[in-house]
Amino acid sequence: MSKTEARGEEKAFQQAARLEREEIHRCITLAATHFQSRLWDDEEGQAARDYIASRGVTRESARAFGLGYASASGTALAEALAREELLDAGERAGVLRQPRAGDRHTDYFRQRVMLPFCSPEGQPLSFIGRDLPPHQRLKYLETRNSSIFIRDTTLFGLTHARDAIRGEGSAIVVEGGFDCMLLHQAGFPHSVSLISTTLSTPRIDLLLAAGARELVVMLDPDIGGWRGIQQASDLLLLYVPRTRVVQLPGKEDPDEFILRAGAGAMRRLLSEARPLTDYLLATALPQGRGASASERKKAIEELSPIFLRLQEGPARTALLEAMASHSGLSCPELEALLRSQG
């Protein structure tokens, strides 16, 4: 193949990819409008509006965050997309189910509150659907990746939080979409949500690009929240050393705490957030130097993956020294124990 032919082929490929992205954008934009119209329909959206209100989210917030409702019909979105000749695009975008032989396309989401994933600029890219009471199905249902959407590179609420993050130089990171909306309502507009995923390098990059020099992580107070912080700790220690962790009291999630205790109590809780390393050590080895051999062994098993994922350098050395000081072990002894877990 000549260079001219190769350039022509590459140009054709790029044009096809651009047209594909444009069509998926049209599809998702139409779907967002459709879901929003169903939520605010007087009769059809009543149950969804009642659930949203029961979570403490105001009508103003629901509109601002672009919440919607996927109706029970199973074909309402498919019919709307068919009118715009976007059925195949809906399938590729993950909002429609592929029809079986002789059947029609059907909606991927049914009877769910719809939360949109948007670009930092506010363009809808995809959705995640929250089950309605009595919660007998999968809690969250989300679309697959597409030509315009990669789940690992989005944060719910970032569109609304960007200006506040830049102004504060800080971002609050929570787990749930409702947590995020309640924080915005309570006067913490620099909040974003992972929605049941972990902090990844692309997500950290998004927050840094938005102007965050500090992260305040407030995941749910359960084993899932602890694991989420564990999984992201090496990245945070490396890229955002000024990361602090909020410890929620009892078993309350952030939205539940705000609704019970109020914005003032949340502000105090945020001010008491602990540096990430202190949080890791206090959680894994609360007994500190007074720990037994078995307690130290368990803590080393918990913390070794974080240490081993860090490359040789200042972040790894600082973590090792902090662990040694907290546990009472020498750095060489502790490093040998950590490496033995690899």
25 and 132 fall within a common domain: yes
| 93 touches 105 (CB < 8 A) | no
| Domain residue limits at 229 | 158-280
| 132 shares a domain with 12 | yes
Tell me the pLDDT band of 38, cut-offs 50, 70 and 90: very high
How sure is the predictor about 4, in pLDDT bands with cuts at 50, 70 and 90?
Answer: low
Q: Are strands 214-218 and 243-245 parallel, antiparallel or unpaired?
A: parallel
Q: Which of 217, 321, 233 is nearest to 270 (CA)?
A: 217
Which string of DSSP letters, residue by residue, matches 201-263?
HHHHHHHHHTT-SEEEEE--SSHHHHHHHHHHHHHHHHH-SSEEE---STT--HHHHHHHH-H
Check: CB of residue 279 under 8 Å from CB of residue 237: no
Q: Which pTM was predicted?
A: 0.92
Spatial separation of the C-alpha atoms in residues 19 and 33, rounded to whole Å = 21
Residues 212 and 134 in one domain: no
Whether residue 115 contacts residue 52, with contact meaning beta carbons closer than 8 Å, is answered with no
194 and 253 together in one domain: yes
Confidence of residue 228 (pLDDT cuts 50, 70, 90): confident
Please state, as a whole number, how many other Cβ atoms lie within 10 Å of the Cβ of residue 6.
10
**The tokens 């090496």 sit on which residue?**
234
Q: What is the average pLDDT across 236-258?
A: 94
Backbone φ and ψ of 141, nearest 5°: -130, 130
Q: Are residues 39 and 118 part of one domain?
A: yes
Q: Is 171 helix (H, G, I), strand (E, B) or coil?
A: strand
Tokens representing 39?
């939520």
Provide, rounded to the nearest whole percent, the portion of the chain with pLDDT above 70: 97
Q: 129 and 9 share a domain?
A: yes
191 backbone dihedrals φ, ψ, rounded to 5°: -105, 140
Of 116, 149, 182, which residue is a domain's last?
A: 149
Q: Give CA–CA dist 227/300, Å, rounded.
A: 15
The CATH number linked to 132 is 3.90.980.10
Coil, helix or strand at residue 113: strand
106-107 and 96-97 beta bridge pairing:
antiparallel
Q: Which of 85-89, 157-161, 250-254 has the lowest mean pLDDT?
A: 250-254
Same-domain status, 139 and 192: no
Residue 45 belongs to what H/E stretch? none
Whether 249 and 325 share a structural domain? no
Q: Is the CB of residue 218 less than 8 Å from the CB of residue 226?
A: no
Per the structure, the count of domains in the chain is 3
C-alpha distance from residue 42 to each of 39, 48, 110, 143 (Å): 8, 11, 18, 27
Nearest Cα neighbor of 34 from 83, 65, 70 is: 70
Query: What count of residues does the chain have?
Result: 342
Report the C-alpha gap between 234 and 197 in whole angstroms: 16
Residues 132, 171 within the same domain: no
What is the model's pLDDT at position 318?
Answer: 96
Task: Give the pLDDT score at 1.
Answer: 62
Residues 8 and 142 in one domain: yes
Q: Which residues pair with 338 in a beta bridge?
A: none
In the predicted model, is pLDDT for residue 54 greater than 70?
Answer: yes
What CATH number did the domain enclosing 209 receive? 3.40.1360.10
* pLDDT 10s digits, 103-151: 899 999 999 999 999 999 999 999 999 999 988 889 999 998 999 999 9
Rounded CA-CA distance 132/137 in Å is 9
Q: Do 209 and 104 lie in a common domain?
A: no
Q: What are the residue ranges of helices labelled H in the chain?
A: 3-39, 46-54, 59-64, 76-83, 87-93, 158-168, 177-185, 201-209, 223-239, 254-261, 263-271, 276-284, 293-309, 314-327, 331-339
What confidence tier does 35 reach under pLDDT thresholds 50, 70, 90? very high
Is the domain of 247 the same as that of 133?
A: no
